[in-house]
Structure 1
Amino acid sequence: MSESTESPGLPSRLLADPEMVAACRERDFAQIFQLAKHKGGFHPSRIARACELTPSRVGEVMKGRPKITNMSVIERIADGLKIPGRMLGLADRCWEQPAAPHEGAAVSADPVRVSWQAEGSPMRGNVDDILAIAAGTRVTPTVLRSLQVSIEDYWRRDDQHGGGALRPAVIGQLRYVAGAVRDTADPNCRRSLHGIAAELARLAGWTYFDARQYSTAQGYFTESLRFAREADDRLFIANVLACLSLQATYQDNAQGAIALARAAQDNARLGGGTPRLLAMLLMREAFGHASANDQEAARRAITEAHQRFERITEGDDDPAWVQYFDHTKLTVDTGIALGQMGEAIAAEPLIAEALRTESTTNLRGRAFHTFWLARTQLQRREVELACATATKALDLTAVVESPRVVAHLQEFRWLLGPYRSSASVVDLVDRITGIAR
């Protein structure tokens, strides 16, 4: 029988096999894939296509290296092989809707239900799902997916316009999810809700951090850590610690920033962190060292970050929230760290290169990076060029709300003090003073 005519998921007899049940319970994907191949007729290439993995990645997993721990990859495997969520410690998947039996058909006694009605889209809901969201009485797979999609949309809008206007909605949704956790008995569903609550709390903390309300931000980051620990998600714990490390840098707590970044790296390694994630965390450590003006330690962290980044492969199971850390982001962060240490000659071309290649949709990021380019140009005494660059950052503040960016521009106004005889400096200082009022 050709693959095109075979069942889209693992057969019921295999899902009920004690070896498969045990492998799923332990999330032993090497054994799961081996059983799928030898008892289910699923060759590695077919597993790869079904689970959106590369064949080489499947081969590595079947050899037991490395282990899969990323929740999004685990969910892809569950959906690709049609393994019921409860077997892998997940909430019921969206496709787990029992198909209506034909009239007169016998009901199967198989303890593992495998007759499912696939949905065309995970967002396709029904009246029950809508009412569940409104009343908060029942959390379904569709509700869980709706919450996750809303988080993705919040982050996109935060990048484009700032998070101030989003904050009430984010916090309201966080409270809804926290209430749903209390009202939900199913352990798999609770775990999914804890993960969603962790993401919402981190987003709330980020919006307060960007607003320079650091105490409130720390409260939400701490809440996010608690939810992530309940979800047993070490990688997300590392993510939140990275946020706290960055905030510590802004609060001139260099040693705290370094300690938090290192704790994040420890959690990432214990959770099977990818080279991309570890590179990002090492750059957060570099920021701390640069803030402490420890050039040797900063350069060591930067070098290790680049070495980690070079190890990235197509088959890495990167969490979705770290995929933003691409070569452009590594380049600009390196430039910023060097700029913090006053190494403007090395920093300026790196930041300029990143601005030429980075996405134009993240307006706050562009404003922030443009400020740092202006600052390195001013360090090189290119006053007119620095003012022209800073004006671009200033223009972006009209379309993106970010008190953090405004604070950087106020800092730039102070740095312009020795050059007040220049007409372009006077004009820029007046404009910055205007937005600061």
Structure 2
Amino acid sequence: MPGPRPQGLPLELLTSPEWQRACRQRDFASVFRLVKVKAGIYPSRVAALCGMTPSRVGEIMSGRRRLAHIDVIERVADGLRIPGAMLGLAHRPWEIPPAAATERPRQRRSAPNGTATGSEQDSGEAEPRKELDELLTLADGRVTRSTLLALRSSVEDYWRRDDEHGGASMRPAVVGHLRYVTYMMGSVPAPLRRDLQSLAAELARLAGWAYFDSRQYSTARSHFTQALRLSHGQDDHLFMANVLSCMSLQATYDGQPSDAVALACKAQDAARTAGGQPLVMSMLHMREAFAQATLRDGASCHQAIGRSRDAYEQARGQEGEAPSWVRYFDETKLIVDTGIALAKLGESERAEPLIAEGLRRETDAQQRGRAFHAFWLATAQLQMGRLEAACDSAGLALDLSASLDSPRVAGHVREFHRRLAPYARETPVIAFEQRLREAVG
């Protein structure tokens, strides 16, 4: 039995010029000597890991034999955990786990209360105990103002947790709260029904956002649509604008930038109906800028950025008048989002200092946002040819994402790694891939 494989060769070895030269020349005598001296993997262990006899390894180390067959070279790469690019091979299967490892699928299972979680709920299947849950909820007692306050406090806590850890793990709890409030709407007096409907709309938006962060766009869209219906009944145009802005951002991620522009513009119309609150308008213009940048429409993107900046200047001193859900869009957010829009356009020279400044200003509580922004900083730096700086920024993003449950962040990890493919033999990339392997287990 070969025993457990090494977790990975030391980074100091992988990045040393002597090692890189030996790998580039496929000088396995030097490779085996270096793993012995620098990694403590002796010839007998090399033989077991690579499917060779100890005598053959000895012959290679003494220079009496060379490795030429590609299948044997691949066995050596896999056995010793040598990144494929260093030996002129494609990435080996073990190097960077596939999407399933960074975006772990949730198995179909039941929560303690009998509601479905994971893939069963994500696919929209009806929970087996839905009718019983509804009966128990309706028999639960009357809703009071204290009930509403407690529920609103839960929503605020969900948003805080979403900022800090991502939304994926919150889905069952948020959907459960949404069902609870929706059921109770039919059993309360008229004075409380409107408040419950408003709360249900916010929970539906939160559910949509959590599924969006999980990259389950179809389910997210259905919850956003539910939020729109609930808010439409109350003529809450500002809240409708908020939901439409979420749908616009999702469309940008989902590769539908034309739809994203239409949704952002519709959101702006809804906000104007409610008086055109300037901070809300600033955020909505930036949503449009993102979509226009994805369309590679530079003129329209720059115009939207300008309108966002103008609206933000108008909003100065009026922060207290803005809805609570838009107050996250402060000067720091305006700066970093401007940088991201420019990076999407490929204007990296202008984008890089803006994203860096935004990242410097952000607090530790904005963990997921900082991870996103670090990856965008890395993207801009890579566009500029600053490979080492880009890998350093991406390494920061990996550190920030350690406590996140956000498949959107995982998607940024994979996208950035794909862009590194042309530089696979460069020392900064080798070091980054080592960190990436450690981060995703």
What TM-score do you get using the length of structure 2 for normalisation? 0.67
Question: Does the C-alpha gap of structure 1 residues 247 and 214 become closer, same or farther in structure 2, counting only changes over 3 Å?
Answer: same
Per-residue CA deviation, residues 216-273 of structure 1 (Å, 9 max, x unaligned), is 1111111111111122211000000000000000011111000000000000010123
Q: For residues 336-375 of structure 1, what are the structure 2 equivalents within 5 Å? A: 336-375=340-379
Unaligned runs of 5+ in 2: 1-135
Q: Shift in Å at residue 314 of structure 1?
A: 2.9
What CA distance in whole angstroms lies between the structure 1 residues aligned with 2:228 and 2:263? 13
Q: Shift in Å at residue 307 of structure 1?
A: 0.5
Question: Does the C-alpha gap of structure 1 residues 350 and 226 become closer, same or farther in structure 2, counting only changes over 3 Å?
Answer: same
Question: Does the C-alpha gap of structure 1 residues 179 and 399 become closer, same or farther in structure 2, counting only changes over 3 Å?
Answer: same
CA contact (8 A) 1:249 1:287 kept: yes
Give the alignment partner of residue 392 of structure 2, picking from 363, 376, 388. 388
Matched, 1:198 2:172: no
Q: Shift in Å at residue 424 of structure 1?
A: 2.2
What CA distance in whole angstroms lies between the structure 1 residues aligned with 2:266 and 2:212? 20
Matched, 1:291 2:291: no
Residue identity in the other structure for 1:356: R
Q: For residues 29-178 of structure 1, what are the structure 2 equivalents within 5 Å? A: 136-178=140-182
Give the alignment partner of residue 303 of structure 1, picking from 282, 294, 306. 306
Give the alignment partner of residue 269 of structure 2, picking from 262, 266, 271. 266
CA contact (8 A) 2:370 2:397 kept: yes
Question: Does the C-alpha gap of structure 1 residues 427 and 135 become closer, same or farther in structure 2, counting only changes over 3 Å?
Answer: farther
Give 1 or 2 for the bigger CA radius of gyration: 2
Q: Shift in Å at residue 164 of structure 1?
A: 2.2
Q: Shift in Å at residue 175 of structure 1?
A: 0.3
What CA distance in whole angstroms lies between the structure 1 residues aligned with 2:405 and 2:335? 25
Partner of 1:236: 239
Q: Shift in Å at residue 421 of structure 1?
A: 1.6
Matched, 1:189 2:188: no
Relative to structure 2, which stretch is displaced further, 137-146 or 283-292?
A: 137-146
Deviant stretches of 4+, over 4 Å: 132-135, 433-437
Partner of 1:10: none
Give the alignment partner of residue 426 of structure 2, picking from 397, 422, 426. 422
Partner of 1:207: 210
Partner of 1:66: none
> How much is the aligned-residue C-alpha RMSD, in angstroms?
1.7
Question: Does the C-alpha gap of structure 1 residues 379 and 321 become closer, same or farther in structure 2, counting only changes over 3 Å?
Answer: same
CA contact (8 A) 1:167 1:204 kept: yes
Partner of 1:328: 332
Partner of 2:404: 400
Residue identity in the other structure for 1:251: D
1:413 is paired with a residue of what secondary structure? helix
Residue identity in the other structure for 1:180: M
Per-residue CA deviation, residues 75-128 of structure 1 (Å, 9 max, x unaligned), is xxxxxxxxxxxxxxxxxxxxxxxxxxxxxxxxxxxxxxxxxxxxxxxxxxxxxx
Unaligned runs of 5+ in 1: 1-131
CA contact (8 A) 1:249 1:291 kept: yes
Partner of 1:52: none
Identity of aligned residues (%): 50
CA contact (8 A) 1:332 1:369 kept: yes
Q: How many positions carry a matched residue from both structures? A: 305
Q: Shift in Å at residue 185 of structure 1?
A: 3.3
What CA distance in whole angstroms lies between the structure 2 residues aligned with 1:318 and 1:354? 22
What TM-score do you get using the length of structure 1 for normalisation? 0.67
Residue identity in the other structure for 1:380: M
CA contact (8 A) 1:245 1:257 kept: yes
Q: Shift in Å at residue 398 of structure 1?
A: 1.3
Matched, 1:226 2:229: yes
Question: Does the C-alpha gap of structure 1 residues 180 and 273 become closer, same or farther in structure 2, counting only changes over 3 Å?
Answer: farther
Per-residue CA deviation, residues 128-171 of structure 1 (Å, 9 max, x unaligned), is xxxx9995421111111111111001100111111222221111
Partner of 1:256: 259
Per-residue CA deviation, residues 306-330 of structure 1 (Å, 9 max, x unaligned), is 0010001434520000000000000
What CA distance in whole angstroms lies between the structure 1 residues aligned with 2:372 and 2:147? 35
Partner of 2:9: none
Residue identity in the other structure for 2:292: H
What CA distance in whole angstroms lies between the structure 2 residues aligned with 1:198 and 1:273? 21
Residue identity in the other structure for 1:260: L
2:402 is paired with a residue of what secondary structure? coil
What CA distance in whole angstroms lies between the structure 2 residues aligned with 1:354 and 1:329? 7
Residue identity in the other structure for 2:402: A
What CA distance in whole angstroms lies between the structure 2 residues aligned with 1:340 and 1:429? 24
